[in-house]
Structure 1
């Protein structure tokens, strides 16, 4: 049986291995150090505020200390998000109880989700209005699409059980709207909705129409699931052309329609690449936890991915 001192040595070795190999977390050592410096004070602030807010018989800071320090809590969250590693495995790895890992991930994920998407050093986008302003100032084109993530089926007899059934895949899922720039860098990832919600309905509920009407003039490319937004936004949302002939279309029209459809698809394919990078994080391949936590998980991964993409881009430009 390992005592606490022997585990401390092993814990330091595990921590060093996680930080040094980017394949484990998908993040560089430089970015992990930045996250520790940024998220650490937020976590300690919320933790101390929680301790102070309740009646106490001892001073804050008295009693047993955390066996899982904040750096390990952050690393455990990264490994869980990147590889979908179960809490039991992480508990064995870090030498703590499973409930400690569960509590740590539940505390860190919301902090990561609140960071937003990084576009430049020190600049973050957290709302659709900020994204539209950013695209308007830089003159870039945005690309929007919806993505679905499979979740567990609600228990039998639960109200609105069928809301999570996707009309496209016929599976229990939640849906999110992802917005990228022309290069596929993630700029925004919305909170999740039940899978039965249509893409265009989700966009309207998020206020995309109002944001485009009130913001700077930008162009947003979208697929056929968003047809109808173009008329509501004064042509700022560009979708594939409507098919005018439902039956017995002339050959010349079929050729023209197919050419236009492929041209539009090739211009918006980058958003599919951005979504694929999100899905590389195994926590989004299929979510087996509580559906209520899915939004924090998705937005935390979007923030980490965009931060790493920006860091890599800056490093490439400086070479």
Structure 2
């Protein structure tokens, strides 16, 4: 009954029943293979087929992880809902979340983008414009005495956070979300560390829209990163110049707003609104949610699935 309710109501997981069915058929064999490999890697103490059986089958494990990512439900709550022990839910999340993170972002049925280089090549081949922006996710404050305790403090909102870079196309479809960095890392520094400058300088001709936090990348990439226009006069600017600057700024902002909408859709998954778990797992959560959201966006655009 629990499984039927979760699958049948899109508000619970954020995914349609068709997408969940595709996830089960895709990830089920991978999970079973990894589970058997783990069992075979240690000396056997029981006969083949002996021992306790799983009380939480793979489908329910996947649904529990989706609910955890979508609503930030605690392990205790999910354990009560599915009628298992808390440790079973914790183990299931630790097994399924990396599988979701490895899928990449879906751009068409059977075609996925997993690295930033693949995204740049896709934008170049399709002639589309990319949009980048940084997003911060609040995390728990590191323990007292840690030498890197202050690196998680964001210079923007003065809170403990990690930062990820989201990249979408001109229509707001999610194409890539980077692994996270501590909140003190600047947006432009994060982009450089990901190798975006080299990919754009050596790759196909691609236009990337960005906000003022990425000013400076345009000169390093031959003008392929477009940022808001600079003010030509710092003081006593003519009225015509101010009007032109405001008009150019609004035109750039109206094109770039799509990535803000995409980040808002990502933050609808409560695991990315505020992360309460271990910081080592936040990158997997970000990339798992990005892959799930892009998969659902692709499914919604498929005319065969529209009703």
Bucket of the pairwise TM-score, normalised by the shorter protein: over 0.9
Instruction: Tell me which residue corresponds to 2:281.
Output: 293
Indicate how the Cα distance of structure 1 residues 137 and 163 shifts in structure 2: closer, same or farther if over 3 A, else same: same
Secondary structure, counterpart of 1:268 in structure 2: helix
1:102 aligns with 2:90: yes
Note the aligned Cα RMSD (angstroms). 1.2
Q: Displacement, 1:54?
A: 1.3
Instruction: Tell me which residue corresponds to 1:17.
Output: 5
Instruction: Tell me which residue corresponds to 1:151.
Output: 139
Q: Displacement, 1:56?
A: 1.9
Q: Displacement, 1:315?
A: 2.9
Q: Among residues 257, 264, 270, which one is paired with 1:276 in the alignment?
A: 264
Instruction: Tell me which residue corresponds to 1:174.
Output: 162
Q: Among residues 52, 58, 67, which one is paired with 1:64 in the alignment?
A: 52
Gaps of 5+ in 2: none
Instruction: Tell me which residue corresponds to 2:184.
Output: 196
Instruction: Tell me which residue corresponds to 1:3.
Output: none
Q: Displacement, 1:251?
A: 2.3
Distance in 2 between the 1:44 and 1:155 partners?
A: 37
Instruction: Tell me which residue corresponds to 1:231.
Output: 219
Distance in 1 between the 2:48 and 2:269 partners?
A: 37
Q: Displacement, 1:316?
A: 6.9
Equivalent pair of 1:52/1:60 in contact (CA under 8 Å): no
1:37 aligns with 2:59: no
1:73 aligns with 2:43: no
Distance in 2 between the 1:22 and 1:316 partners?
A: 18
Secondary structure, counterpart of 1:289 in structure 2: coil
Q: Displacement, 1:166?
A: 0.5
Equivalent pair of 1:51/1:60 in contact (CA under 8 Å): no
Instruction: Tell me which residue corresponds to 1:129.
Output: 117
**Number of residue pairs matched by the alignment:** 307
Please give the TM-score of this superposition, normalised by the length of structure 1: 0.94
Distance in 2 between the 1:158 and 1:239 partners?
A: 37
Distance in 2 between the 1:133 and 1:249 partners?
A: 42
Q: Which runs of 4+ in 1 moved over 4 A?
A: 316-319
Name whichever of 147-156 and 237-246 sits farther off.
237-246
Q: Displacement, 1:183?
A: 0.7
Distance in 1 between the 2:157 and 2:149 partners?
A: 16
Q: Among residues 70, 84, 104, which one is paired with 1:82 in the alignment?
A: 70
Instruction: Tell me which residue corresponds to 1:250.
Output: 238
Distance in 1 between the 2:4 and 2:36 partners?
A: 28
Distance in 2 between the 1:243 and 1:132 partners?
A: 30
Name whichever of 246-255 and 220-229 sits farther off.
246-255
Equivalent pair of 2:300/2:306 in contact (CA under 8 Å): no
Please give the TM-score of this superposition, normalised by the length of structure 2: 0.97
